[in-house]
Structure 1
Amino acid sequence: MLKKLMVVFSLSFIVFLCPQMSHAYDPEYYQEPYRNQVHFSPEFGWMNDPNGLVYYHGLYHMYYQYYPYGLLWGPMHWGHAISTDLTHWIPQKIALYPDAQGHIFSGSIIIDKKNDSGFGKDTMVAFYTNDRKGIQDQRIAVSHDEGQTWEKINEPIMKNPGIKDWRDPNVFWYQKDKKWIMVLTTHNKAMFYSSKNLKQWTLMSTFGPTDQSKGVWECPSLMRLPVENSNQKKWVLQISRTEGSPAGGTGVEYFVGDFNGQHFIQHRKLKRRDWVNYGADYYAAIPWNNLEGPRGERVTIAWMSSWKYAERTPTTPWRNSMSLPVSLTLVKMGDAFRLKQTPIYYLKPKDGHIRFHHKTIQPSTNILKGHKFKVGEIKAEFDLSKSNAKEFGFQLREGNGQYTRIGYQVTTHRLFVDRSHSSNFHFNSDITGVHAIHMNPTNHKIQLHIFLDHSALEVFGNNGIRVITDQIFPRVNNDGMSLYSSGGHTVITSFVLQPFTSIWGSSPLVSNIKKWQTIKGIWADSMSGKVGQTEDEGSILSNRMGKNFVYESDVTIINRNYINKGTGTGGLIFHSDKVAKNMYVAALDIPHKSVQLIKVCNGKRQVISQKTMPLKGNQTYHLKVIVQQNLIKIYLDRKLMIEKQNPTFHQGLVGLYTFQSSSAFQNIHFTSKP
């Protein structure tokens, strides 16, 4: 049985279909160290802010800031993934590319149901910030095939009025006045615009600054949320801030108030600041457009990292993940309104389930000793009226002197995550090891809902009133756990631990070769096949060795610059030693427009034969190598290009090669000949 979606939306709101789950589990796909198994991450490359979130015709579209050619932030693209349940994601091709006009920064997507824009009824319209050498303006792109292909309208709809850091348009329909609203942010304020046709926009008002804190406001969203146990609804303005969060870095602040179609008026100014999340790794949270729950709940997702160290996390061939999506409502607490977050997940249980009720935990015991836990959820409720402990909680991913502690301090009423002993990875010095927030008991009870992944930890306290999200990077084999009580005993009224299987299915690589070992560069399976990326020379070797054989693949050298000029080389390695220092390469050289036979001796490349061909980047070619009795034949699209006697290497491993490029290989097939 699949786990029921843990959110109160009706079946008409969530579509329970999941094509990804029908795929067989693949031990090679999405299984790198630290690769999260129930949180979204791209197949390869750098990712940051989610943007363009929209629900349409049963599909949840998630676009995101993406640099596919390395592990550091670079010229921004819009990546794309789709889901039918907000849990299992299927990567799609890149939606928007940077060009000579500029980089593609964050934004939003709406469904133009009445053709207000003139681009056609039910057209998807994407709003994004175009950044050209630091000068930012607002532009649109349109899709007539439900988000699969996009046409950029390169003239800006809003030219920069001389404002720095003027970006991240969030657009929604305001039914009362029958107009479109856009929220933009600048250095330390939000700006509200209106439009009837999605092309001409009028500034109505601004909100902020709210304090003198350093940092920049980014990724705004304005939404109307229901107040639980009432008929009220209040407007919530979310702002991502590059500095000043409780964890010491980036974070998402929210303000509760009213919106009259022109101005946002904060409900009441508080001495404290309200944060969506009190961990270090939660940023750029925005809602899905065209999507509301039966009471008006909204769904958001966030980038699970921090600009303080995002470029230094120890992952490859990808960098950064998304949080779990959450459903948002408000709760009245005294004379203030607090955000409540309910995680949305639809995951398949795995063996290892643990359940018990009404146990007393003594300081000297660990009733979870011997149990192993890496990916899944914990639900626990503690009764403070029957306890005298000063602190209680869990230690997860224990081993080799490492652990992450999730606990509650009774006298100070503090929920905390302590990752100071989580891993060998040294976070930036101004990011504290302990992230904590005040959380009062409810009827003398404390509830913890914890999600653990290979490099992620999300803690929802007291039904989502308090949330802490942190990355952790423990040793891969750390899987121990403890339930601890300090300074006295603790009564736990209920406990459920449920491991989950991975959301990732089988690799999209089509090949009769199953095992590969990266030698140089960044290599990953993707919807394009096996992709290699490098600024220098990259190679990956298989476990297949041959003397006489047929070795072939579809090869695409991917354009990586803005003017669509092909760069780099990619090809098939054969007769290689175990470290790719001595080998042959049948290569497609885009800059020199030639098919080449390259000999590598002690790491030095030499072109020993070539055939001029009008090769182009982003075009797929079929490359085949036949070796028989020391004669090498290289074919391109079934035409013989090179025929050469083999005087140097007579047998060895086969593999893939890329040089100063990103190269994709699909339909890879090796047949040994007698």
Structure 2
Amino acid sequence: MLAKTFFGSVVSAIASGLYLMGSTASAAPLSKPTVARRDVNATNFPNISTGSVVLGSDNTYVNSSIYDSSLRPQLHFSPATGFMNDPNGLVYANGKWHLFYQYNPAELAAGNQHWGHATLSNGTTILMFSGSAVVDRNNTSGFFNNTSNAEENIVLMFTEHTDYVEQQSLAYTTDGGKTFTKYSGNPVIDIGSTQFRDPKVFWHPETEKWIMVAAHSQDYQIGIFGSKDLKSWDELSRVTRVGYLGYQYECPGLAQVPVEGSDEKRWVLTYSINPGSPLGGSIMEYFVGDFNGTHFVADDAATRFVDTGKDFYAGQMFDNTGDEVIGITWASNWEYTNDVPADHFRSAMTVPRRYKLRSVPVNPMFNDTLLVQEFVNTSAVHDKELFNSPINYSSSMNGAPIAVPTAGAFEFTAEVFVNTTTGLKSNDWAVIDFYSNDTFKSEKLSLGFRPNDGMLYVRRADAQKSWYNPLFTGSSNSFISIPSANSTTKFHGIVDRGVFELLINDGQQSITNTYFLEKGNVIGSVVFSTAHENITFTSASVDSFKSIW
């Protein structure tokens, strides 16, 4: 399976990739140029045959110590320096996972928009806005010749943005992604709008066409386009004003997703809104339905959110992954992303996730089809098992700390069993606390589940001792389901420096939050505790990760 090799590939990519200015791409002068990423296996950087290495402002390579900062995630992707936001151009090609992303190499805030690029090989920075990438293995575009490797025929479709127009353009690579050439016939779509962006392209074999979805952002419409050659496009239909509107639509996606327990696949339309999320700021929603090659029709107009935390926006799926649907998402929120504590860089991506559909009883009267998620296989960066044992009310480990390494990156699992709901009160919780590693354990994250009524909280208010923003909500609350007697609720989480990801009941719900401990602190211990004899952790585990840097 592709996903089994994914995480190891990304680790190599982001640990050894260099940032280059592509020799065929245009870019504005930078006041603070991009810097080379350090190689984890060598003290010297490899020679680069194409493009030119862009050095730091002091004309030296960036010091590797920036990867050891307490603010730097040790498992999640982050840029060496500068500001990163939406993932773009996600594609699997010839054994390599390509992650492009919107990037400002000049400062620690949004603006001066470029694309960053991480792969198993070198990275490239080119001047573009949002977009996607595909493998044109049949050379429908005519950009490639017979000597090229068909699995490396990568074409980017991106939004060129000015004060007067947003238009869609193409770029392509003939060297496996080291450099890109802009198509001389750009733009390929120009409708004269300033609010038309974020193209996502995929091949639709049934109609033998490329399909693109793009946001008519402030019309609250998702346009569906078709093309035989990636150059000439026709608009086929629009999805209009469905779901939660917010201020504008952004970053749409359309993918065929497997249904668990069957050979069936259903189509899923995703897009993000910002600002105007009911939770504040930005959020991502989805719709399950049917796509006939021209029109998408949702099963209903109900709003379903991909993630109900504060920091999950502009997610995209990788192209060319066969029967699997794998995506990655920006772990931040436009309400405060330009203001959070920073050390050489700002923002990180989520861990890549695999997506499926599952029929779930959401209440006694109704089964819903939900987009469920699981973390990709992280065995490539697994360090060691720190704890694996049940914990009950009378256990010596009830409330006892489990130490985690100073890297501060680990995963945990827990299965909370409720013997009977009789006698449970509103103060009877199953709680997992994550304490900082300073002497007084002065900061913490908390996860609490109340079986009495199925309520859950993820609290970060106690993990921002040295920083405050009124929009940085202290707690994310959610309803899971009302447990019955002899029921089990499952949790699987990944905790990293600054990023907390939680999947509930095998991915039926997801909560992703960032957090910012006092500089120098990382999470140093985990505590499982139950407040009632009828609430038991039938299993609880903690496993550490190696740093990817």
Distance of 1:74 and 1:17 partners within structure 2: 26
How does 1:59-458 map onto structure 2 within 5 Å? 59-83=96-120, 92-97=122-127, 104-120=128-144, 122=150, 123-153=153-183, 155-186=185-216, 187=218, 188-210=220-242, 213-270=245-302, 273-292=303-322, 296-334=323-361, 335-344=367-376, 345-350=378-383, 353-357=386-390, 359-361=391-393, 366-369=398-401, 371-372=403-404, 374-385=408-419, 388=424, 390-398=428-436, 399-424=440-465, 426=467, 428-440=469-481, 441=483, 444-458=487-501
The CA deviation string for residues 111-160 of structure 1, in whole angstroms up to 9 with x for no partner, is 11111111125321100000012521110111011111001125433443
Partner of 2:237: helix, strand, or coil? strand
The CA deviation string for residues 403-456 of structure 1, in whole angstroms up to 9 with x for no partner, is 111121222312321112111355543443221222125971011111111111
Distance of 1:280 and 1:67 partners within structure 2: 22
May I ask how many residue pairs the two structures share in their alignment?
A: 478
**Aligned position for 2:537:** 492
Alignment root-mean-square deviation, CA: 2.7
Distance of 2:469 and 2:100 partners within structure 1: 28
CA gap 1:32/1:227 in 2 versus in 1, 3 angstroms: same
**Aligned position for 2:521:** 477
Distance of 2:289 and 2:384 partners within structure 1: 46
434-443 or 410-419, larger mean C-alpha shift:
434-443
Whether the 8 Å contact between 1:66 and 1:79 is mirrored in structure 2 is yes
**Aligned position for 1:583:** none
Whether the 8 Å contact between 1:363 and 1:486 is mirrored in structure 2 is no
Partner of 2:379: helix, strand, or coil? coil
Distance of 1:449 and 1:352 partners within structure 2: 15
Partner of 2:211: helix, strand, or coil? strand
Distance of 1:477 and 1:435 partners within structure 2: 22
Distance of 1:297 and 1:370 partners within structure 2: 36
Whether the 8 Å contact between 2:10 and 2:97 is mirrored in structure 1 is no
Distance of 1:376 and 1:12 partners within structure 2: 19
The CA deviation string for residues 230-252 of structure 1, in whole angstroms up to 9 with x for no partner, is 23211000101113435322011
Partner of 1:28: helix, strand, or coil? helix
Letter in 1 for 2:246: K
Distance of 1:264 and 1:315 partners within structure 2: 41
**Aligned position for 2:81:** 44
Distance of 1:17 and 1:431 partners within structure 2: 30
Whether the 8 Å contact between 1:168 and 1:219 is mirrored in structure 2 is yes
Whether the 8 Å contact between 2:467 and 2:516 is mirrored in structure 1 is no
Letter in 2 for 1:111: V
Distance of 1:431 and 1:17 partners within structure 2: 30
CA gap 1:468/1:172 in 2 versus in 1, 3 angstroms: same
Shift of 1:377: 0.5
Distance of 1:162 and 1:18 partners within structure 2: 41
Whether the 8 Å contact between 1:362 and 1:489 is mirrored in structure 2 is no
Whether the 8 Å contact between 2:330 and 2:348 is mirrored in structure 1 is yes
CA gap 1:167/1:75 in 2 versus in 1, 3 angstroms: same
Structure 2: state its 5+ residue gaps: 17-38, 44-63, 362-366
Whether the 8 Å contact between 1:126 and 1:142 is mirrored in structure 2 is yes
Letter in 2 for 1:469: T
Partner of 1:30: helix, strand, or coil? helix
The CA deviation string for residues 579-635 of structure 1, in whole angstroms up to 9 with x for no partner, is xxxxxxxxxxxxxxxxxxxxxxxxxxxxxxxxxxxxxxxxxxxxxxxxxxxxxxxxx
Partner of 2:419: helix, strand, or coil? helix
**Aligned position for 2:547:** 502
1:465 aligns with 2:508: yes
Whether the 8 Å contact between 1:395 and 1:483 is mirrored in structure 2 is yes
Structure 1: state its 5+ residue gaps: 1-7, 84-89, 98-103, 505-674
CA gap 1:363/1:472 in 2 versus in 1, 3 angstroms: farther
Whether the 8 Å contact between 2:250 and 2:314 is mirrored in structure 1 is yes
Whether the 8 Å contact between 1:304 and 1:320 is mirrored in structure 2 is yes
Whether the 8 Å contact between 1:246 and 1:279 is mirrored in structure 2 is no
Distance of 2:317 and 2:384 partners within structure 1: 34
How does 1:517-666 map onto structure 2 within 5 Å? none
Distance of 1:72 and 1:18 partners within structure 2: 25
CA gap 1:109/1:427 in 2 versus in 1, 3 angstroms: farther
Whether the 8 Å contact between 2:189 and 2:233 is mirrored in structure 1 is no
CA gap 1:309/1:362 in 2 versus in 1, 3 angstroms: farther
The CA deviation string for residues 16-72 of structure 1, in whole angstroms up to 9 with x for no partner, is 797559945998351113100000001111111110111111110101111111111
Larger relative contact order (C-alpha < 8 A, sep ≥ 6)?
2
Whether the 8 Å contact between 1:245 and 1:278 is mirrored in structure 2 is no
Distance of 1:54 and 1:423 partners within structure 2: 36
Partner of 2:103: helix, strand, or coil? strand
Distance of 1:129 and 1:261 partners within structure 2: 23
Which of 69, 73, 76 pairs up with 1:32?
69
Letter in 1 for 2:447: I
Whether the 8 Å contact between 1:362 and 1:485 is mirrored in structure 2 is no
1:54 aligns with 2:91: yes
Partner of 1:421: helix, strand, or coil? helix
- The TM-score normalised by the length of structure 2 is 0.81
- Structure with greater helix share of residues: 2
Distance of 1:400 and 1:16 partners within structure 2: 35
Letter in 1 for 2:275: E
